[in-house]
Amino acid sequence: MLEVRNLNVNYGYLRVLSDINLKVNEGEIVCVLGPNGSGKTTLIASIAGLISPKQRSGTIIFQNTRIDRLPPYDIARLGISCITDKTGIFPEMTVLENLLVGGLTLKKNERNEALKQVFALFPVLRERCKQLAGTLSGGERKMLLIGRALMSKAKLLLLDEVSAGLAPIVLGEILRRISEIARTGKSILLVEQNVFAALSVSNRGYVIENGRIIIEDTCERMLKNDIIKSAYLGIQNCQAIFGDWKR
């Protein structure tokens, strides 16, 4: 469904992403892992069209249409929804209005349908629907962002660091919802720092380091992968640290 080929992104003289090749198929949840500064957010931004074409090269194809030269609003119209902190909520509009803006491309009755679905998925949004979005807590904002993205009947969701700043319980809630969303047939590309969280919901995963993909595999195999275990899950290190403490 989504295919990224030979993506290279530069910020000035700094090469941020080199030769990225990535695929997301229908109904899949794909996660992208990696340390800070590895270029994960840039990847999402490139797909969503938020990075100027002058700074990147390579092809991005979504359902047989080339989207790498399109402006972000056209990409959104094709069915890709981007959920990042940069493309945030509209703080001075109510929760309801935020969702309505998300559903601008739909007709009136379709919009009400979508609204019902979003409220079913995130009941807390229905409670707060008349509140100004700027007054919501961090977790509620993330839910609002996801809800807004769902309003447009997007087929592909790009999620950037959904776990950032969330309490573990809230994160668990959101992850559950993400799985439910995927079950309805949407595809999800998930960029994450929290490796456990990501691997627990995804089907496949990529690991990016210094702008290059170093690992590409299904999540089950990745969980057993030694490199991932030591570098990202820190299992061996954890034991060493706890060992010292206990003494």
Partner 1 sequence: METTTFMQAIISGIVTGSIYLLVALGINIIFGAMRILNFAHCTYMMLAMYGGYYIYVFGGIDPYISLLILTPLFFLGGFATQKYFIEKVLATNILNQIILTVGLFITIKSLASLFFSETFRMIPVFYKTISYSLRGVYIGLPQLVAVIVSISLVLFLHLFLTRTDFGRMIRAASQDMYGASVCAINVYRVFCMAFGIGTALASVAGVLIATYYPIYPHVGDPFLLSGFIVVVLGGLGSFKGCVVSSYIIALTESLIAYAYIPAFQQVGSLVIFMIILLFKPKGIFGGYESK
Among 17, 43, 76, 146, binds partner 1 (CB under 8 A): 76
Strands 56-62 and 65-66, bridge-based pairing: antiparallel
Q: Judged by CB under 8 A, does residue 100 bind partner 1?
A: yes
Q: How far is CA 225 from the centre of its chain?
A: 23
The token pair at 137 is: 């807590």
- The count of residues interacting with partner 1 (CB under 8 A) is 28
State the nearest-atom distance from the C-beta of 19 to partner 1, in Å.
Answer: 26
Q: Judged by CB under 8 A, does residue 10 bind partner 1?
A: no
Among 35, 37, 53, 91, binds partner 1 (CB under 8 A): 91
State the nearest-atom distance from the C-beta of 74 to partner 1, in Å.
Answer: 8
Residue 199 has what DSSP assignment?
A: H
Give the whole-angstrom CA distance, residue 146 versus residue 82. Answer: 9
Question: Which range of residues in 54-62, 79-87, 115-123, 159-167 is near partner 1 by CB under 8 A?
Answer: 79-87
Among 66, 69, 86, 116, binds partner 1 (CB under 8 A): 86
Give the whole-angstrom CA distance, residue 123 versus residue 143. Answer: 10
Report which of 153, 68, 57 is spatially closest to residue 102, judged by C-alpha positions.
153
The smaller minimum CB distance to partner 1, of residues 41 and 222, is found at 41
Handedness of CA 28, 146, 229, 212 (dihedral sign): positive
User: Is residue 228 within a helix (H) or strand (E), and if so which, with residue range?
Assistant: helix 226-231
State the nearest-atom distance from the C-beta of 245 to partner 1, in Å.
Answer: 44
Q: Judged by CB under 8 A, does residue 48 bind partner 1?
A: yes
Q: Judged by CB under 8 A, does residue 223 bind partner 1?
A: no
Question: Which range of residues in 68-76, 123-131, 163-171, 225-233 is near partner 1 by CB under 8 A?
Answer: 68-76
Question: Which range of residues in 77-85, 185-193, 223-231, 233-241 is near partner 1 by CB under 8 A?
Answer: 77-85
- Scan residues 155-184 and list those touching partner 1 (CB under 8 A): none
Among 101, 129, 170, 215, binds partner 1 (CB under 8 A): 101
Report which of 216, 110, 210 is spatially closest to residue 153, judged by C-alpha positions.
110
Burial annotation 114-149 (CB, 10 A radius, 16+ → b, else e):
bbebbbebbebbeebeeebbeebeebbbbbbbbbbb
Q: Which residues bind partner 1 (CB under 8 A)?
A: 48-50, 71-74, 76-77, 81-82, 86-93, 97, 100-102, 104-105, 148-149, 152
